Amino acid sequence: MPEALPVTPSVPNYTVGVVLDDRAYVLGMRWDSRDSAWYLDVMDEDEDPIRMGIKVVLDAALGRDCTDPRFPQGIITASDTSNQDLEATIDDMGARVGLFYYTVDEFRAMFEE
């Protein structure tokens, strides 16, 4: 079962601490009104950048191009929980659209079924 990451609707810029695979991270969420899109920053527990400015797109493996070994080993993805397949607006992230973390084993199991 993927872990729902804590995201807050209608707040355009914030950070939140999470633990993924027994490692502490700080996630930053930023709304870009010019692009009408959310961006994700992934930092270590001291808020040193690991991968910044990841555009949040539905059903993509966010940060998959990151080569920093500190980046979480699993998959971070955004999903439209209403099945409307609409990207998140400023008010939708954390409401209609959620961020989820799949461990490597959870992700593999999805394809074995």
* CA dihedral sign of residues 50, 98, 75, 6: positive
What six digits make up the tokens of 73?
């080993």
Q: Which of 108, 92, 107, 19 is nearest to 58 (CA)?
A: 92
User: CA 20, 24, 28: angle at the middle one, nearest 5?
Assistant: 90
pLDDT per residue of the chain (113 residues) written in tens, 0 to 9: 899 999 999 999 999 999 999 999 999 999 999 999 999 999 999 999 999 999 999 999 999 999 999 999 999 999 999 999 999 999 999 999 999 999 989 988 877 76
Q: What is the tally of structural domains in the chain?
A: 1
Backbone phi, psi, residue 15, to 5°: -125, 155
* CA dihedral sign of residues 104, 31, 85, 96: positive
- Which residues are paired to 32 by β-bridges? 37
Question: For residue 31, what are the domain limits?
Answer: 3-112
What six digits make up the tokens of 85?
């397949």
